[in-house]
Amino acid sequence: MVILGTIVAIVTAIIISSFLGPYGLLTMLAVGFGFLFSIHARVREVQSDLKLIKQHLGIMETKEAVVSNEEIEAELEREMAVARE
């Protein structure tokens, strides 16, 4: 449906630009800007909806914890001690 609307809008812009002559390019740029603005608004709406869905389901974005080299070495030594036993 979106593709059909895009095709119809492009064809309409070309027809309008052919009737307007020198203002045709300006008209096509305005239509292109309108498309970009519409797509941007829709993407923001979808991102907002996705954020609400994640909150509702309790899905959190986890970031990796920063582990120091000393902690890694201590854990490796513990694992090696357990493996020796």
Per-residue pLDDT tens for 64-76? Answer: 667 888 888 999 8
* pLDDT for the residue numbered 52: 93
End-to-end CA distance of the chain: 67
Residue 35, amino acid: F
Place 1 in a pLDDT band, splitting at 50, 70 and 90: low
- Residue 63 tokens read as 């970031």
Structure confidence by residue, pLDDT tens digits, 34-60? 889 999 999 999 999 999 999 898 887
